[in-house]
Chain A
């Protein structure tokens, strides 16, 4: 089995009296494509924020490639090869699409040799299919294009682990399939570990190899899609057979 790239140990995040993430442990191996699902408010995004350094966990440890990153600033995570996207695209609106990509290349991506597909601005724009829009300001492209750009910005840091936060939300069915294929392709061709949060469970289950299920801040299941959909606790959490249908 491949080495563990990122290991989260007992990550807990509390906001005042509310425990958003409750002692979640998970490890991500190099080259894995893992999905994280859970009902609204299950703590998926908070968990993401904690393992990308955007918020400091209340307690718990985070080891990336043997280095302890807990409590460090987000740029350290980027330097360690952890890249992320945000649920609502946060592109630099006034800069051109190309300059948005260039940003990551100039900072976290500068010190790393990436895959051939991440060699420069143009190659990344080709990968996400935005070459023809390179000179437009990022504010002028459509929301789904901005979402692709958001992924491109993260790729420009030449990461080893890519955290995708609901990249398929709000897309049409055809777009969702394209996105899923892009994610699969990135994992295969760029030598990446991909962790993908999604609300649209059925699409996700068709593409990932492993699923982690969060419910009320706790991890209630961790396994292959086929195993997870048969887990009674998971079925109860989702209050229905949407998942069983998806697996069938």
Chain B
């Protein structure tokens, strides 16, 4: 397949997914639709996470910071501004915060970067808590103005489609190539003419804008928000887990994993919450050990490889048993 055919294929697959998700509320139960909403939220979060963090290998744990900023923006703005404006404001504010945060920590790599983004998330959460207690005199906020649930669903679907579309287009752009170069060997990319500081900051801000928009759209679902729910680090962790298990560098990995996760979450979490967390952990371990490219890198050959390896192992095990017996 040449480049153009791949582009057409990707766009068609995306269109099919979007069509399916669009039709879902018309025949699915309320339970299924709410599950689909969570699923779309994680598609948007993990796909947008992957487009910066996957290609550059900068592990950001700040997704919940941007989510929370978006949520608070819509809580504050929805009275005065329209739905679309509130979401755009949430996205914009998150992007601005990401630029500031990025200038401070994007020269660090690996663990340092991950830990600092996590620390900054906590800092923002506590700052918001302090501000609300001291100046607004509240712990949380009630969202009185909320759009129809159909509107929320369509918005989330749009954000998910946009996130995947951004990944598709970015892969074909110079900007995407620069991100890949930074992930492969940052200094080499620099000596070949990439302004890495600019590219990293812009990529981080793009990821953050999606986080903010998703937070802004999701806040109204919850009617009551406080810093501990919207800045919940679990949102950030789950985003990273989904992206890694699906394959952070791949296009469809985050989407596939988000679906797997939502199904697991909704079927297991209510009845067996421990089993849900355990299966997440197990899935991550299995992926890291046996499928480093993530679920999206699964091919027919992968199964054949496992089958061969399994047979070989069984044979050597039997041989060992004969010798000992």
Contacts and interface: CB of A to CB of B under 8 A. Distances in A.
Interface in B175-196: 177-178, 180-181, 184-185, 187-196
Given A103-B177, A106-B177, A107-B178, A75 B184 contact: no
Contacts of A93: 184
Nearest to A52: B191
B226 to A, nearest CB: 43
A86 to B, nearest CB: 7
Contacts of A83: 191
A75 B194 contact: yes
Nearest to A76: B195
A92 interface: yes
Interface residues of A, number: 28
Interface in B150-195: 174, 177-178, 180-181, 184-185, 187-195
A109 interface: yes
Interface in A87-132: 90, 92-95, 103-104, 106-110
Interface string A53-64: 110000000000
B193 A107 contact: yes
Contacts of B196: 73, 75
Given A103-B177, A107-B178, A78 B193 contact: yes
B197 interface: yes
Given A92-B185, A94-B184, A95-B184, A73 B195 contact: yes
Contact of A90 (B177, B180, B188, B197): B188
Contacts, number: 65
A74 B191 contact: yes
A92 B187 contact: no
B181 A103 contact: yes
Contacts of A154: 191-192
A75 B193 contact: yes
Interface in A159-211: none
B187 A74 contact: yes
Nearest to B191: A74
A23 interface: no
Contacts of B177: 103, 106
B8 to A, nearest CB: 21
Contacts of B181: 92, 103
A220 interface: no
Given A73-B197, A103-B177, A108 B188 contact: no
Given A103-B177, A106-B177, A107-B178, A79 B193 contact: yes
A192 B87 CA distance: 53
Contacts of B185: 90, 92
A157 interface: yes
18 contacts: A52-B191, A53-B190, A54-B190, A73-B197, A74-B187, A74-B190, A83-B191, A90-B188, A92-B180, A92-B184, A95-B184, A103-B192, A106-B177, A107-B192, A107-B193, A153-B188, A153-B192, A156-B192
Interface of A: 52-54, 73-75, 77-79, 83-84, 86, 90, 92-95, 103-104, 106-110, 153-154, 156-157
